[in-house]
Structure formats: structure tokens, C-alpha cells
Structure 1
């Protein structure tokens, strides 16, 4: 069960889940077809991606018997058809105050975008050093490019004068509504000013907090492991109620799983990332900052990264397990440089966290709840709450939009994928597709758009029609969806999905997955 905070504390609900611990992948397409078009096509449409996979869940070592489920539609989504997306949207900021939006615009987004832009160049340079480096760095470069495009779209929204005026007008109307009611004014009237004061503290504390407690100075899997080991050992000595939330008894199994999952660690790539993050920390905090002097000493970021990666054993699963099992005594005796580093900076990191929680997080949380109460008094639950990575249902229609006065059709078919194929990455369809071209129905819808309101976190969400049939899988949004973190514009914001008929066509004609098709059909 999860206790879910909705409307920024204005409402709480208890969500109960059935958890399947044994899930096994049974089908995944080639990367070239799953992410055809790469970064240029990301957040764009028309789109031609088989961005899906099939997973089978097991109970007691056997495929689970699922009594209630949605059937897979062979026909797929139709134009103007009502569709529902059920999934777990990550986070939105539609109910933030104007002061919070300004801090996000002026501090948070710009800082992250600058670092991502530099990191992209560093990772691309590393990937040019060889075939293995190209493979190792692929996951991070994809993440960086995706994040950069998404955050840039958010920044463009917050720089739009009309949008900001709209938010200011909404806030002013709400504050006037409260001011006109003495009982509300007495209880809620000071909430906006308190949040604005918290933003002043946020701006002052953002840099040291993000680099030290937020670990932005240590872009390294080695340090991630060290921080988890050190804090888990320390927190387990305390009563459960006094621990950091992420190390409560209910969370420790997830910490252990992350720590002992056997994720591959690539030393050369670790050095590149750690050198980059230490260099940025020194640049932004300053060479004379006590934290920088304590961490670097007389070494350069490159020298320190080289030395620490070379002398650490935390890439070894057995070494991590020994420290996990050994508890605080083993941690305190460890001579691993990352463990020693995590121990050395922990008092300062905890102090920054406590101050940030006292002066920023708790103030915003308390007063956001009051603002939410004001909204309830004004409009009730007419507006749905910000996304919280918990189950939501979004309804909409399969429809295109107008772009610069020209209509964008809601469907993209298999023929369009072959027309866009150039043979060069990222527009190179795999050999399996070319071999199957003569068997494919090139007019079969492949990807499509709808006006469902989704956000990052919804990828993989089923799209269901009024008959209770799965007609698509949501996997992205168009370029106008990037402002969806702050508001939903039904005129142009679109969900991008894989068509269920397109999935079946590919499984049948390209991948010859006859047994899977029978299983999908319930046979």
C-alpha cells in the first residue's frame, strides 16, 4: 500500500497494489526499430517507432493466471474514437505558485540545461574513442538528449509571456477569493508570501545542496554505491521512525536490491563522468570553497577520478555485499576511497539537507497544502491534481492538430517508415524490416496521436477504447507536450502511441512470433 499525497497535501488517498515479483521479458524489437529517428524525431510526429516490449509475469514459477484483463484490438485505434490511457504519469508542476515557477525558470532549469549541454559533448567525445566506448556511453547519451529536449521545452513555456500572465492572473484571482473571506484569509492568506520567502532560501542554498547532498559533484556509480552503503549502515542503527525516509524498514529491500543488482560498472567511463562532475563542482562552488578543498586537496579533478576509480573495489558485487552485511563496523574500517569520501562529506551533506528541509521543503509543503485548500474552496476538484507517479486515467480522442495553419494527420503508417529510411543512423531500419517489406501492409497504421493528457512516466501505458480493448501503447508526446508539465493545451498537445494493429502486423510479418500472437489472442 502507498499513501498518496494529492493536491500538494490537499487530499490523501491510500493506493493498494498487487505486486508481481517475477517478470520476464519475452519480446523486444531491435533498437533501430524501437527508436527509429533517434533524437531528431523524439517529441515529434509523424513518428515510426515500434517502441514496445512484451513481458510475462509469473507466480510460483508459472505464468500468472490473470482473471481480469483488457483484450488486444486487432483493428486498433480509429480516428475520432474516444480512448483512455491508464498509467502512472511522473510529475507535473501545474499547481505551483508564480514564485515557484520563477525559481524553476531562473535557477533550476537553466542550471540543468547548461550542465546537460556540456555533458553531452563530454560523453560524445568519449564515445568516439572506440566501438566499446560507443556502446557503453549509448544509454547516457540517450538520456541526456531526451532530458535536454524535455527541459528546454519546459523552459520555453516558462519564458512565454502569455503563459506567465495567465498563471499570474489565476493566482491573483485565487488570492482575491481568499481575501474576500475573512475565515480563509486568516488561515490561508499568508501562504503565498511564505512560499515566496522559501524561494529566496532555495536560491541561496541550491548550488551547495545540489552538489553536496544531491551528489551532483560525484557523477559515479562507485559514489552512488558508497553513499547507499554509508547511509544504510548509519540509519539502520536508529529507530525506524528517526531514519531518513529512504532508509526506513519498508524501503531497505529496495536499497539492497539496487546495491546488489549486479549492474555493470565501466571504469574508464566512470573516470570521464567523475572528472566532469568534479570539474563542474569546482567551477560553480569555487576553488576556495571548503568542500572543494576538502575533496580535491592538491589533486585535479582528473587526477582524483583516476586515483579513486583505480583503488576502489565497489565495482565488485562481492565487496559491496560484504560491506552491506558487515554493517557500520565494516563501513568504518573500510579503506575504500569512495567509502572514505562518503563518510568524510556526510556531516556537511546532512547539515545541508536539514537546513534545506527546514527552510525550503517543509515551508513549501505546509503552505502548498493551504493553497490547495484555497483551490478546493474556489473550484472543488474540477482540476485534477498534479501527477504523482501513481495510477491515473486520462480520456481523449484520436485526432491530429493544426501546425502553422496546416493539418497534421493522426496516423503514420508502415509505408512512411520505409520512406523515411535513409540507411544511416538514426534513420536506418533493421535488416529484418527490409526482408519483410513485401509481406507488410504498408498502409497499416503504425503510430498515431490523441489528445490524452499524459506526461513522462506514462510510457508503456495502454490506450483503451470504449469496448475495453487495447488499441495502442503510449510512448511519447509531440513537441507541444513539453509544456504539459505546467498546463495542458488541448489544441496542440498530443500523446504519441504505437497502434495495436501495427504491433500485431510487426509481430506477424516481421518477427514471425506466432506463439506470442496466439497468447495475445487468448488462445
Structure 2
């Protein structure tokens, strides 16, 4: 077992080494938040540590849900009402929209339970408890290294999680922290009946579009409303008309008192991934190779889709969710690269690594770590761009993934000949994938994307490193330049393959083709080369596996060393999609010399940005009407209406929809974005500029109440004015 002193250090939730702990930095593990409690009280928190996390009673953590596994939501009524972001509910909203009933553009608020819309496949999870299982994992993997240790670790995770599952609606997993230096078990209760209750028109919910994304000042009403349902005994249940609104252990009261600079704030949620212990070698690879490639490939998709979406409302509705997902991180990677360079993060890390190397020289276990990092990145560098092309480029064409799935599924059926049940399941799954593919298919855009990505690959990857199948295609269809070459190849595939055009694909699959027939299709002959594990093995040999295995070993040792070097300091682990809490304050900031961005934006700012008919800055007529009348109801203040505010809380992707909570445990807003000046945040936290952009709960309620007329929703809430 690990020594008690090290154990206590590991349980003390993390800050990047070499820096003084600052309250606004850190995504802290709620189970261990007691170590931060005194600092939180000094900053304005008025409740107890048990009010934050209590495995044996109700606490704030019981009002927080993991929304669909990709966002956060909060329970705001005793009838299971959930607030989250508009962009978190976007797919649910868009998928329930048609040209005849366009709730994405026009908005929607259910006036009773019967009008609430079931969302197939959407779920929420409530965290029941956490348990440190480090000793169990370490004991089971003692003496193992590399792939053998990784395999054993996964087995132990599964065993521990399985023992924690006490029923069909209970889920459990074990997550590693500090690069596998600590392990914690998480146990959840899952609810699968989640229904859409309301959403503003997208020219409120997505006001500002891509232009304002990641920017402050911001005036986006980024919220949507859902409800979790349960069986009549309040237990989780699959969708049924007999289900009733869930009665939660805890829900958040809502404060409409407002915020001011310096007010205490908590963000509670499920941040996705950070990599703040990434070495300078990893930062260089991100800024020089990987990020620019991702941006380039996503830009190809976005431009092709946008050109077609602008022509057809029906297509725009079908592609809106997909477009938004790709656009969000297209801009993210642009900003991250820019800010990492502006902040000289690589240079700063190199200085830290030099100091670390001097300290580690006297430690046999840690000596030479940086030299080993240097070598593995040098070995990996020649394939970094090409590897990025696999998922971001080649598989960006939906038909390619479908073709791979069809081929592999039919091969599996061949191996299980005579198993009609298995064959039925496989065909049902494939047919569902084909139907989903057909919903967003657009020939002009899809064909353009396919050809342009193949041409970009030719320009970005040295000829000597290009795969044999690709080189053969380039030679066969060569016209003198890669652009027309791969357009010619695209024309050939679209005319001759039965796996691309949806109607042709459906007709082909209806014939129940043999595996041999599928393999003869020219589309399949192309796609079969792109199954990621096979592509990597064929073209890179063991290089990728060697890099990842060695990097994991080095990361583990590096973090072990960092913890030892910084013994006694409060530290937090990287985000990993587990429940976290960050605390800080509402706070303005100076983006440039001579400028200060205020903490709040108002409806005046909305009107100043208003551009009639614009796809990003248009507004609903009733918003303009109520603005002109100054009809802000109980939500206004000093003759205006606050729309958004900023705090210095530490967040990342996955925190979308997280509640922003004041010192009294009341909801004051919903976190939905970060700011451009601190886009380096997933790798390097910027203490001066990092801000969380939030939609003010008063704007949310005004939209629901005054614009939406949904008094039924407002009446459920515990609204506090003082």
C-alpha cells in the first residue's frame, strides 16, 4: 500500500506544479473539497462542506446531472425540471423540428406535461458516491509494466465497478487521476426518460453564432429546459406514458437578486478533458502539427455545408446540430493555438522542465525523464499529421464509416452462420446507421468534402509517406494536380458505388448482398483501407502503439515525481469527465492595455448587435417589442435586463450547462463558454485572463416567462429575490 503521507497528498486536489494556489484555478473533486473549505468561506461561501458533498444525505451534488454524457444540467424544481445550455439540447431541439413545426427557429415551451417531448436516447445520471480504490488497483498491478499493466488495470477497473453495480439502473466506473497515480470509483443512478420542456428560438439561444463563439462581451441566451421522469415509485424507468416527473433529493433555488463584481461563485459539473501536465514537447506538437491540421480539415467541411445550408431550410435544420458541433471546436483549436503561442507556454514549460530535470537528477527513478520525452516525440513527429487525417479527414465522409461497418458486420455474420438472432441484431443496427446517414446526406457538400480532403492529404503528407492504396489512386486518376485528380475519383465513386447515395445504398442492402458482393464495390475497396486500427498497423507499424505506451509510462512517472516534488501543496488532477467543483468570483478583466471588460452584459447590447435577417444576429419580434416597452418584469434591474456575466471559475468542455451558484447555494446563471483570451486553458491556465461566460438566470426566466408565456415553468421554481 502507498505510504500515508503520499496518500494524503494524492487526496489533496491539484494545481499545476510550481504555481501558488489561487482560488479561481482548479477543478476540485467534491469528495475531498473539505481541504478547500476555509478558503471558500473567506471568499464568500456561506454553507457547510457537507452542503457541497454528502454521500449519506442530500447536498448540492444531488442537484447536478451528467446530461447525456456530454454536458451538465441542474435540477431546479421538486418535479425534476432541468436547466442546461441550448447547445447541449440542440440536437434534441433540431431533431424535433420540421419546416412545418420549426421549434429550432421559433422556440418551444410546453404548457403542460402532455406537451413535453420525449427524446429517444437521451439520459441523465446522478452521482451517488465516490470511493478511493487506489490501494486495490496498485496491489493488483504491482510489478507490471507497459501493455501488460494497462490490460490488468482495465480488468481490475471492471471488477471493482461490477461489484458496485447493485441494480439495472446503477452504473459504475473507475477513473484514473494524476496519470494513473490515483484511482476513484464513481457510482451513478441513470434515468432514461428525459423530455424536452422548452427552448428559446435559436436567434436567442445561439445569438451571435460562430462570430461571438468564445468571445466576451456576449449576449447569448444559451439555455434549454428538460425534465427527468421516473416510474410511479420514483425509480428510474424507460420511457412510458405512465411515468411521472421525478422527485429529486435536492434541487437548486433560483436567485434573481443579481450579481456584482467580486461576488462568490461556484461552478459544479462534469468538465471533459484537460492536459495541464502536458510537456513542452506535446505543446509544440499541438501548435505546430495537430491543431492546424484539425482546423484545416474542419474548415473544409464547414464551408461545404454552409454553402448548401444557405440554399435550403430543410437541409439547414437537418445539418444544424452537426454543423454546430464541428464549428465549435474548429474555432476552439484556432484559439487554443493562438493563445498557447501568445502566452509562450512552450517556453515557460521548458523552464519548468529544466528546473524539474535538475531536481530529478538526484532521483534514480525520475532521472532522464525529459530526454526520454524528447526522443519519443521525435520518433512520432513524422506521422503526427497523417494520423490526424484518419478521424478528422478520411472518416469525415459518413459513407466511409458506413462502408467499413457494413463490411465488418457482414464478416461477423459469416463467422456466426446460422445464428439468426445475431444476424437480425446486426442488420437492425446497420439499417439504423444507414437511416441516420441518409438524414444529413447532401450530395453536393459530401462530394466536395471527400474530394477536397483527399487533395489536402496529398499536399500535406510527403509522397514517400502516403499509403499504397492512396498512391495507387493518385496515379490512376492523375490529371496534373491533386484537386482535379480527386474530384475525378469522387465522380467515379459516386456513379459506380452502391454504398454512397442513400437510396442506392438502401436498395442494395435490401437485396441482402453477400460479403463477396460487398467487397467488390469500389466504395468498399476504398473504405476498407481506412479502418483505424488496420490503417495504423499497415502504415505506421508499431510506431503509434510504442509512442502511446511509452508516453503513458513517462506521464505516470512525471506526475509521481511532481507530486513528490510538491509534497504538502494543494493540487488538483486534470479533468476527466468526472464531477468537479470550481470556485471563484464574478470578476472583470483587462483584455488589452487601456481596456476593461465589465462583468455583465445587458439587453442593450443585444439590440446594438441586432441585424435584421442575419443568420447570427437576427432577433424574434417579441423580444424587440418587449425591449421597446421596457417590459422586464421582476427580472429587470435599473431600467435594463442583465443577459450575461463572467466569473474567474475554472471550466472546460463538459461544463456546458453547469450551474453557477452563489454563496448561499442559489442558482445565478448557467456556464456556457470560455473567453478568447484564455483559450489555452485546457493545457495552460491563464490566471490573468481566464473567464467563464455565463447566461444570467434572470435573462433565462425572462425569456421563459415574458417571451414564452410559460408561467407553468416559472411557478415550479423556488425564486428568491433577497
TM-score, structure 1 length as denominator?
0.84
- In the alignment, the residues of structure 2 paired with residue 293 and residue 4 of structure 1 have an alpha-carbon distance, to the nearest angstrom, of 42
- In the alignment, the residues of structure 1 paired with residue 329 and residue 663 of structure 2 have an alpha-carbon distance, to the nearest angstrom, of 34
- Change in 2 beyond 3 A, CA 1:295/1:482: same
| Aligned residue among 329, 338, 356 for 1:174 | 356
Distance apart, 1:70 and its partner CA: 2.8
- In the alignment, the residues of structure 1 paired with residue 272 and residue 507 of structure 2 have an alpha-carbon distance, to the nearest angstrom, of 32
- In the alignment, the residues of structure 2 paired with residue 47 and residue 67 of structure 1 have an alpha-carbon distance, to the nearest angstrom, of 33
| Aligned residue among 383, 388, 391 for 2:571 | 383
Unaligned residue ranges in structure 1 (runs of 5+): 239-251
Contact 1:113 1:152 in 2 (8 A): yes
Contact 2:353 2:370 in 1 (8 A): no
Please state whether the residue corresponding to 1:428 is helix, strand or coil: coil
Distance apart, 1:36 and its partner CA: 1.3
| Aligned residue among 376, 380, 385 for 1:207 | 385
Which is further off, 337-346 or 44-53?
A: 337-346
| Aligned residue among 34, 37, 48 for 2:219 | 48
Whose relative contact order is higher, 1 or 2, with alpha carbons under 8 Å and at least 6 apart?
A: 1
1:396 is matched with which residue? Answer: 584
> Is residue 359 from structure 1 mapped to residue 569 from structure 2 by the alignment?
no
- In the alignment, the residues of structure 1 paired with residue 279 and residue 456 of structure 2 have an alpha-carbon distance, to the nearest angstrom, of 30
| Aligned residue among 557, 565, 571 for 1:370 | 557
The one-character-per-residue Cα deviations of 1:22-48 (angstroms, maximum 9, x if unpaired) are: 222221211111121222222222211
Rg comparison, structure with higher value: 2
> Is residue 8 from structure 1 mapped to residue 179 from structure 2 by the alignment?
yes
- In the alignment, the residues of structure 2 paired with residue 197 and residue 237 of structure 1 have an alpha-carbon distance, to the nearest angstrom, of 44
1:416 is matched with which residue? Answer: 605
- In the alignment, the residues of structure 1 paired with residue 539 and residue 455 of structure 2 have an alpha-carbon distance, to the nearest angstrom, of 21
- Change in 2 beyond 3 A, CA 1:512/1:130: closer
Matches within 5 A, 1:319-358: 331=515, 333-334=517-518, 336-346=521-531, 347-352=534-539, 355-358=542-545
1:247 is matched with which residue? Answer: none
Q: How many residues align?
A: 503
| Aligned residue among 259, 271, 282 for 1:100 | 282
- Change in 2 beyond 3 A, CA 1:297/1:372: same
The one-character-per-residue Cα deviations of 1:148-171 (angstroms, maximum 9, x if unpaired) are: 432222222332364333222222
The one-character-per-residue Cα deviations of 1:229-279 (angstroms, maximum 9, x if unpaired) are: 4456668999xxxxxxxxxxxxx9xx9898377351313122122122122
Contact 1:401 1:407 in 2 (8 A): yes
- Change in 2 beyond 3 A, CA 1:161/1:19: closer
| Aligned residue among 483, 488, 497 for 1:303 | 488
Distance apart, 1:119 and its partner CA: 4.8
Contact 2:404 2:524 in 1 (8 A): yes
Please state whether the residue corresponding to 1:56 is helix, strand or coil: strand
> Is residue 68 from structure 1 mapped to residue 254 from structure 2 by the alignment?
no
> Is residue 266 from structure 1 mapped to residue 441 from structure 2 by the alignment?
yes
1:473 is matched with which residue? Answer: 670
Distance apart, 1:510 and its partner CA: 0.4
| Aligned residue among 459, 462, 465 for 1:283 | 459
The one-character-per-residue Cα deviations of 1:424-472 (angstroms, maximum 9, x if unpaired) are: 4222212231233322246232211100011122211111223222221
1:193 is matched with which residue? Answer: 371
Distance apart, 1:127 and its partner CA: 4.7
Contact 2:254 2:717 in 1 (8 A): no
2:647 is matched with which residue? Answer: 450
- Change in 2 beyond 3 A, CA 1:422/1:322: closer
- In the alignment, the residues of structure 2 paired with residue 397 and residue 237 of structure 1 have an alpha-carbon distance, to the nearest angstrom, of 61
Contact 1:119 1:276 in 2 (8 A): no
Distance apart, 1:130 and its partner CA: 5.4
Contact 2:264 2:584 in 1 (8 A): yes
